[in-house]
Amino acid sequence: MPLYEFYCEKCKKEVSMTLTIGERERGEYKCPGCGSKKLQPLMGTFFSKTSRKS
């Protein structure tokens, strides 16, 4: 199961959790700390920043 990183707008901090692809696609995830669903995925932005270095 892949590990995903999110930024929780409620806790104002980064959280990481393991999700199945299906859970990720359907948005079936919430902050382990506060239970909020206001999570912003961090991985996508992180990778596009580092891999584009031409």
Residues that bind Zn ion (CB under 5 A): 8, 10-11, 31, 33-34, 36
Angle at CA 23, nearest 5°, toward 22 and 28?
145
CB 50, min distance to Zn ion, A: 26
CB 29, min distance to Zn ion, A: 11
Question: 18 - beta bridge partners?
Answer: 3
CB 2, min distance to Zn ion, A: 20
CB under 8 Å to 7, separation ≥6 — which residues?
13, 14, 15, 39, 40, 42
Which is nearer to Zn ion, 10 or 24 (by Cβ)? Answer: 10
